[in-house]
């Protein structure tokens, strides 16, 4: 992709059209494409045999039916993942053939109870299956649909001998995704694995920036910098040496007060654009529980607020709402 600001912000379907289908399923990705998303966003973890699959976490009890499989009951275990003790079932303990016996489930049934009718319909997709879907749908639609993969827990997977980066680059290159113009953005919350990726590929890279925490590779190496430090002019200059864009928590751009009311925006878009970084913002969701006080019952209003600030893209669980908001903003 070109390192320049686009007029129309791109719509990145966050985990697919995850407002309507269980996240990270081919059903969620296909619906997002039908709704008009420009990119679909798979979070990636790996299996025991080194196959990249789409899950937000490597611990999969919250988004699959794994706990109901007696043949896998002995795989339940406790692990420390990036400093948090987790109890459950972990993708790196399953081969792809075993993962394919599982079905996906709605992550937040208490909020998205209507999506439970799609529980146990979809299997866990591999990155290759997602690419295949995108190629078919791009041909069908007559325009190129992009993929926006995220490496999850890169330090952890590196430390257990299952690094994500080589497998990801090999899969993308083998599928003819090459160079800066390819319809791909590779994202990570860590820094060092993006720097490593920049030596493996020319595909566009995105530094994710969270609120009040640190990249886990910084925690691991003793680097004192936080995500906030990376949002300074100096931090953005450093990022621009290896990345095309930043993917930011929306409160970094428009903070909220303790009542969830929006405060004046920061200079982050201006500062990032000054060093030629695109700005993609996450995560936009329709439900009031996620919306600021200012836009309760009006998710489109939230998009419009951010579009006015010159952002280049949004991660959305509801790509149809994002598209409606873009149309209204362009009127
Ligand atoms: O990847 C950016 C956006 O997806 C926010 O992160 O936690 O939903 O993967 P997460
Ligand atoms: Ca993600």
Q: By alpha-carbon position, which residue is closest to atom 3 of ligand 1?
A: 282
Least confident window among 4-8, 44-48, 120-124: 4-8
Q: Distance (Å, rounded) from C-alpha 121 to C-alpha 223?
A: 44
Beta-bridge mates of residue 126: 53
DSSP state of 301: H
Short-list 276, 330, 271, CA closest to 303: 330
User: Mean pLDDT throughout 298-309?
Assistant: 97
- Is residue 23 within 6 Å of ligand 1 at its C-beta? no
pLDDT band at 1 (very low <50, low <70, confident <90, very high): very low
Choosing from 14, 24, 158, 280, the catalytic residue is 14
Supply φ then ψ for residue 180, to 5 degrees: -70, -20
> Do the Cβ atoms of 33 and 40 come closer than 8 Å?
yes
Q: Is the pLDDT of residue 291 over 60?
A: yes
- Is residue 315 within 6 Å of ligand 1 at its C-beta? yes
pLDDT at 4: 43
Q: Is the pLDDT of residue 156 over 80?
A: yes
Percent of the chain with pLDDT over 70: 98
pLDDT band at 330 (very low <50, low <70, confident <90, very high): confident
Structural domains in the chain plus CATH codes: 10-329 (3.20.20.190)
Q: Which of 10, 13, 14, 15 is the best mutation target for the ligand 1 pocket, counting ligand atoms within 8 Å of the beta carbon and taking the most?
A: 14
What are the DSSP E strand ranges found in 94-237? 146-147, 150-151, 186-188, 205-209
C-alpha torsion sign, points 331, 34, 116, 81 = negative
Kindly report, residue by residue over 15-60, the tens digit of the pLDDT: 999 999 999 999 999 999 999 999 999 999 999 999 999 999 999 9
pLDDT band at 331 (very low <50, low <70, confident <90, very high): confident
* Report field, pTM of the whole predicted structure over 0.75: yes
């Amino acid at each position: 992709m070109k390192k320049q600001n686009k007029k129309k912000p791109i719509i990145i379907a966050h985990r697919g059209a995850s407002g309507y289908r269980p996240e990270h399923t081919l059903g969620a990705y296909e619906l997002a494409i039908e709704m008009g998303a420009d990119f679909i966003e798979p979070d990636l973890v790996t299996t025991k045999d080194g196959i990249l699959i789409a899950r937000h976490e490597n611990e999969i009890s919250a988004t699959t039916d794994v706990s109901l499989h007696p043949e896998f009951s002995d795989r339940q275990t406790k692990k420390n993942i990036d400093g948090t003790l987790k109890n459950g079932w972990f993708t790196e303990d399953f081969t792809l053939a075993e993962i394919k016996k599982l079905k996906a489930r709605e992550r937040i049934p208490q909020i998205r109870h209507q999506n439970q009718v799609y529980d146990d319909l979809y299997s866990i997709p591999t990155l290759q299956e997602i690419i295949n879907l995108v190629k078919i749908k791009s041909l069908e639609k007559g325009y190129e649909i992009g993929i926006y993969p995220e490496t999850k827990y890169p330090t952890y997977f590196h430390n257990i001998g299952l690094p994500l980066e080589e497998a990801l680059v090999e899969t993308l290159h083998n599928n003819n995704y090459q160079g800066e113009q390819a319809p791909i953005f590779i994202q990570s919350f860590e820094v060092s694995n993006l720097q490593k990726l920049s030596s493996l590929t020319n595909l566009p890279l995105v530094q994710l920036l969270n609120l009040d925490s640190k990249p886990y590779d910084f925690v691991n190496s003793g680097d004192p910098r936080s995500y906030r430090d990376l949002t300074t002019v100096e931090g953005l200059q450093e990022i621009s040496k290896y990345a095309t864009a930043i993917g930011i928590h929306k409160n970094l751009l428009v903070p909220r007060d303790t009542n969830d009311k929006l405060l004046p925006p920061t200079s982050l878009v201006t500062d990032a654009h000054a060093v030629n970084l695109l700005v993609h913002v996450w995560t936009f969701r329709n439900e009031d529980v996620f919306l600021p006080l200012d836009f309760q019952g009006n998710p489109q209003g939230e998009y419009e607020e951010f579009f006015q600030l010159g952002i280049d893209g949004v991660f959305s669980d509801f790509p149809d709402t994002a598209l409606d908001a873009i149309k209204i903003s362009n009127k």
